[in-house]
Amino acid sequence: MYPVPFEAKHILQMEAQDHQKWHVERFKMSELAELEGRNAHTLMHEGAPIACCGAAVFHTGCVRVWALISARAVGITFLNMSRWAKRFLDTLKFTRIEATAAADFPQARQWLRAMGFKEEGLMRRYEERGADAYLMALVREDV
């Protein structure tokens, strides 16, 4: 498994997890292209994208992270991807790192907690599909 700079086409090349398919179905290539940049990466495994992730800066102290993960990311592949994600988070020199997790996708909250995030609250009807989502944050005292 190795990281490469994120390209919009990577999301369309992987089979997203069931709980994330709605994201992929609604994206336009122009929207995906806006995610490309120095804080966006694709993890490749056996020549194919296994995860796409990145960070969008809100202000000098806060960043929102995102990830779309392939249904093929299981077992040791998922473990290695998680280790890489933890290292990626460690490179982000922000006091506050935020993420959201769909309320009907407990595995996402579990994964974020394993990365050091804490639940801050339920945001009702937050997602475009009308579903609730949890706001999760990793807050560092000293960066």
Q: For tokens 């700079």, name the residue.
A: 5
Q: 56 vs 34, 78, 80, CA distance in Å? A: 10, 23, 23
> Residue 101 CA to chain centroid, in angstroms?
9
Q: Are 65 and 55 in contact (CB under 8 A)?
A: yes
Q: How many C-beta atoms lie closer than 10 Å to residue 47's C-beta? A: 5
In 3D space, the residue among 42, 40, 45 whose CA is nearest the CA of residue 1 turns out to be 45
Q: What gap in Å lies between CA 75 and CA 89, rounded to an integer?
A: 21
Please tell me the predicted confidence (pLDDT) of residue 133.
94
Q: Distance between terminal CA atoms of the chain?
A: 29
Helix (H, G, I), strand (E, B) or coil at 98: strand
Q: What gap in Å lies between CA 94 and CA 59, rounded to an integer?
A: 9
Look up the pTM and report it: 0.85
Tell me how many degrees the CA angle 130-110-33 measures, rounded to the nearest 5: 55
Please tell me the predicted confidence (pLDDT) of residue 75.
87
Please tell me the predicted confidence (pLDDT) of residue 142.
53
Where the chain has pLDDT below 70, the residues are 142-143
